[in-house]
Amino acid sequence: MQKEKIQKNKKRNSKIIAFIDYANMKAWAKSLNYFVDLSILYKALSNVGISQIRLYYGTDARNEKSKLFLDKLSNIGYGVITKTVQYFRISLSDLLNKPHNKRWVEALPKKLKESMLSEAKKLDNAGIGLFEPKANFDVEITLDALRYIDNFDHVVLFSGDGDFVPLLEYLRFLSKKTTILSGKRYLSGELRQKVNTFAYLEQLNDIISFIGPYNASYKKPQPALVERAWKECISSIASLLGLSNGNVDNKDN
């Protein structure tokens, strides 16, 4: 069962809502060997008038830090929606044959590929498998979008997953504005065609620098400089998300 912690800025009158599929965003950042600073992201989204910022991510009972992480996000102001991560057994051969891995395997030198597949088969025959964590929130995000549909005019979705195509088609049918943000390599081409505005997380990072390398040393900026920087970048953020006239790609304008 999903659990939710309501965010602090619930009482605002803004008609914009954001849904963040955090696993999708985390995978993008991790592929760059970066981490996501969710406090910066929250400040950016709330400063451009998004009153509900809902973040979806699984709770891993095997990781004691998991609950602390989600509690921290709730304290920042996110509406946190979670459920227990489920672990499914998967064979190494099946893992290597998944579409996103198969392209990589096919690109290997022939002898290396054959050796890898042969060893994977031996492990499968010996009953040795891997455990794959899963906590997809496609259904929860879709249901929440329908649940809150009378409370917003514009939805900002942080995900490049093509499974959201039917939802976005329905929202546009109801004359709701839609914006997608995703990593360049994670954005479904079909999804991109179904929204009013799409932008890349790389573009958002160019404005607010909300990701950083894991091994970077942290130096606290001066408050006055921070506030001035935010004031200067708010219009750029709004434009990127299609919340102003300077849309990155607004098919309705």
Domain ranges of the chain: 3-84+135-240, 87-133
Q: Residue 247's pLDDT band (boundaries 50, 70, 90)?
A: very low
Check pLDDT > 50 for residue 135: yes
Neighbours of 246 (CB within 10 A): 13
Mean pLDDT of 119-141: 73
> What pLDDT is recorded for position 19?
97
Residue 147's pLDDT is what?
A: 92
Q: Is the pLDDT of residue 15 over 50?
A: yes
The two three-digit tokens of residue 143, written as one number: 């249901």
Amino acid at 144: D
Max CA distance (Å), the chain: 63
User: In this structure, what token pair is assigned to residue 80?
Assistant: 């946190």
Q: Is the pLDDT reported for residue 205 higher than 80?
A: yes
Per-residue 3-state assignment (H helix, E strand, C coil) for 49-90: CCCEEEEECCECCCCCHHHHHHHHHHHHCCEEEECECEEEEE
What's the CATH fold of domain 3-84+135-240? Rossmann fold (3.40.50)
Tell the burial category of 79 from Cβ atoms under 10 Å away from its Cβ (0-12, 13-18, 19+).
Answer: buried
